[in-house]
Structure 1
């Protein structure tokens, strides 16, 4: 498995819980310009209808689109908690693995800017999410409920 070569995490716990996490395959931190499988870096943002924050940047070594799937594991691992990853392209195996974990791969046009994509996502959150975003948010809320019941069970029951 090809591990990240560098990772920058911006620590700001005040907002992290209420933000949806989305990732972008990018080399310049401005535009989405990478195929997911061979992406040299991922920028992960937290977004809500009112705000957006850079959460982390993860850099990988040079990776080729050679069909070796072990490189996918490290990329998918850093996407834990993300609802989507925006990229120029994504291979079939990666799409299956991402969807199985509840992460929506989003293919974008060649000139897609991260700031524009974040603004569009915020607009959709303000107007009421639809399509993949609504499904991703529903999955996220279902996951929150599971932990709540575990806590209740651990507390025990008294009559």
Structure 2
């Protein structure tokens, strides 16, 4: 499962989704955590629509995005693209969130996460 974190320091979740300058991307399974890279948002994005759309394009392969805040319209657009936004307290260490997610994947994921996992497994077996 690909996961994005809105972060400027690459160590903690410290950014509002719409104001994030970068996202750090991980692939997370019950058995491993692999950092895939960092995406940097283009400077000088024009309007709000352009800003949200450009961020959506950066994280389009992710199932979950962690941020400190997100507006209702942006959250709705993420959900339409099958990306689940999660708000966490500012400064929350990314490593801790990765470990929590890994435990959820291995034990008792909430229904929305179990549904995403099934969908990803189907897509992977179809390839």
Q: Which residue is equivalent to 1:9?
A: none
Looking at structure 1, the residues matched to 71 and 40 of structure 2 have their Cα atoms a distance apart, in angstroms, of 20
Q: Which residue is equivalent to 1:89?
A: 69
Looking at structure 2, the residues matched to 78 and 141 of structure 1 have their Cα atoms a distance apart, in angstroms, of 23
2:48 matches 1:77: no
Provide TM-score, normalisation by structure 1. Answer: 0.72
**Structure showing greater Rg:** 1
**Shift, 1:132, TM fit:** 2.6
2:97 matches 1:117: yes
Higher relative contact order (CA 8 A, sep 6+): 2
Structure 2 residue runs of 5 or longer lacking an equivalent are none
**Shift, 1:34, TM fit:** 0.3
| Cα RMSD for the two superposed structures | 2.2
CA separation of 1:95 and 1:81: change in aligned 2, threshold 3 A: same
Pairing of 1:97-136 with structure 2 (within 5 A): 97-136=77-116
Pairing of 1:1-159 with structure 2 (within 5 A): 20-61=1-42, 68-142=48-122, 144=123, 148=126
Superposition misfits of 4+ residues, deviation over 3 angstroms: 61-64
Give deviations 1:68-118, integer Å, cap 9, x for gaps.
211111110121221100000011111111000110000001231100000
